[in-house]
Amino acid sequence: MRKRSPGAGCSPDAGRRPESGELVFRLPRIPQRSMAQASLSTRAVPVKWSHLLQATLCLVFIACLPLSVHANGDSGSVEHIVVVWLKDPGNPTARSRIIDASQVLRSIRGVVSLKAGTMIPSKRPVVDSSFDIALSVTFTDEQAMQHYLTHPAHVQLVEETLKPLVDKIRVYDFRY
Q: Can you give the pLDDT at residue 81?
A: 98
- Give the model's confidence band at 76: pLDDT under 50 very low, under 70 low, under 90 confident, else very high: confident
Question: Domains in the chain and their CATH numbers?
Answer: 22-64 (no CATH), 78-175 (3.30.70.100)
Q: Can you give the pLDDT at residue 40?
A: 53
Mean pLDDT of the chain: 80
Q: Can you give the pLDDT at residue 16?
A: 61
pTM above 0.85, yes or no: no
Q: How far apart are CA 39 and CA 69, in angstroms?
A: 48
Query: What is the pLDDT averaged over residues 133-149?
Result: 97
Q: How far apart are CA 104 and CA 97, in angstroms?
A: 12
